[in-house]
Amino acid sequence: MFRAYKVQLDVNNKQETLLLQHVGCARWAYNWALVKKKEAFDKKEKIPNHFDLHKILNKLKLSEIPWMYNSSKCAPQKALQDCDNAFQNFFRNCKKNVKGKKGFPKFKSKKNEKQSFRLEGCITVKSDYIKLPRIGKLKLAEKDYIPTDCKILSVTVSKRAGKWFVSVQVETPDREQLATNNNVIGIDLGIKTLATCSDGTTYENPKALKNNLKRLKRKQRQFSKKKKGSKNKEKAKRKLAKLHYHISNIRKDYLHKITSKIINENQVIVLEDLKVSNMLKNHKLAQAISDVGLYEFRRQIEYKAKWNKREVIFADTFYPSSKLCSCCKNIKKALNLSDRIYKCDNCGLEIERDLNASLNLKQIYTGSSSGIQACGDGSSSLSGTTLVSPSMKQEFNKKSREYILKV
């Protein structure tokens, strides 16, 4: 099992200079490789891989770029591999005929807030420090977090908002599994309430961006008014980056806490297969949807379920969980976004809208004694996840984009 442990570094000025040198080497090698690949691509010649480019780079070190000997050879090597991967991803998207931009590789700039480089080789990890080649010992801000008895595969050192971090990828034995249980939970995600569970539990939206929006606008205004190229503009940029980092930390911390709680308490989790990119096209709700972090919630649920051998089921994208009555299964077509109480016209049920949707999601799994197979199977990118259709008794109408219940 491969895992990555990310910890903040406590570095002095001399160490920070060494780290910046490695960042510069990796960035230069990546941009140089991108130029070579683009030239071959434009001339319709064979695109050189990172092995070919590494041989040329070693010759350049002897004459044109001797300053690269001051840094570890792994930093430019890994940058060349990253450039290879970027081109492979671009060609894969072209073959799959992905809509929109195909992701042609872009040049890296030292003006970007996030800078990083990767290393391999002789790396030592202790409880309070990590030793990297050509850099030496770097003090860790958090002790006894990175395991010292595992095989180290690679290390990524990055800088964000003026802080340095190290991410260590290790090969670890399988985790100690959680005790299995029979709990099944349906979760309806929203904006006002982040998650409404079928057991009645609700998780409020922390609104990390909304609560800090005034401060963010002020910092952005101060940054834009500073003279271009001045030291004051650099100071304002750092303050703005720290605030962005603070907002993202609030969101990620809250999501980690609630997803861990959900995984620990439930064996089967049923979610909607939401298309967040399509939802963001609504400009009136785009900022609020981005502030919630719907995709990050799903990503954490998926990989934590895989670690703990839990099962995640995704309902079909067009499954009418909000319009469907959880009691009599009647579909209410006239349901506006402002209607927070679901009132069934058939059986008279009155229930909170999001709770009704979560109950419908749970019933996708529990509606049949034979479990998931009664709903149908589908594949997913992660093991332990299943994509199901709502029910064998429902048919999807492509013209109206709705499900039709058949008795």
Q: Which of 38-47, 141-150, 244-253, 391-400 shows the lowest mean pLDDT across its residues? A: 391-400
The residues assigned a catalytic role are 188, 272, 354
Query: What's phi and psi for 4, nearest 5 deg?
Result: -120, 135
Q: In the predicted model, is pLDDT for residue 170 greater than 90?
A: yes
What is the pLDDT at residue 137?
96
Report d(CA 266, CA 274) in Å as an integer. Answer: 21
Query: Helices 74-95 & 50-63, crossing angle to 10 degrees?
Result: 150
pLDDT at 370 over 60: no
d(CA 407, CA 404): 10
Q: Is the pLDDT of residue 381 over 60?
A: no
pLDDT in tens, 217-250: 999 999 999 999 999 999 999 999 999 999 999 9
Report pLDDT digits (tens) over 313-359. 999 888 888 888 888 888 887 888 778 888 888 887 888 889 999 99
| Domain ranges, ordered by start, for the chain | 2-171, 184-405
Classify residue 43 as left (phi > 0), alpha (psi -120 to 50) or beta.
alpha
The stretches of 155-313 forming alpha helices (DSSP H) are 208-211, 213-225, 231-265, 276-279, 286-292, 294-308
pLDDT at 387: 58
What's the whole-model pTM score?
A: 0.83
With cut-offs at 50, 70 and 90, classify the pLDDT of residue 405: very low
Of the candidate ranges 4-13, 264-273, 276-285, 337-346, the one whose mean pLDDT is the lowest: 337-346
pLDDT of the residue at 378: 39
pLDDT at 277 > cutoff 90? no
pLDDT score at 220: 96
- Average pLDDT (295-302) is 95
Q: Report the alpha-carbon distance of residue 280 to residue 125 in Å, rounded.
A: 42
Statement: residue 380 has pLDDT above 70? no
Q: Which residue has the higher pLDDT, 57 or 173?
A: 57
Confidence at residue 48, expressed as pLDDT on a 0 to 100 scale: 94
Number of H helices, E strands in the chain: 10, 17
The per-residue pLDDT for 406 is 40
What pLDDT was estimated at residue 401? 46
CA distance 354 to 9: 43
Do the Cβ atoms of 135 and 15 come closer than 8 Å?
yes
Q: The tokens of 323 are what?
A: 């319009």
SS3 content of the chain, % helix, strand, coil (to 5): 40, 20, 35
Q: Which one, of 144, 166, 234, 152, lies nearest residue 19 by Cα?
A: 166
CB burial readout 268-289, b (16+ within 10 A) else e: bbbbbbbeeeeeeeeeeeeebb
- Is the confidence at residue 385, as pLDDT, over 70? no
Over range 44-68, report the average pLDDT.
93
Tell me what the mean pLDDT of segment 346-375 comes to: 74
Q: What is the pLDDT of residues 107-129, one digit of tens each?
A: 999 988 889 999 998 999 999 99
Q: Mean per-residue pLDDT for 74-84?
A: 96
Mean pLDDT of 143-164: 93
Residue 330 CA: distances (Å) to CA of 196, 323, 342: 21, 8, 12
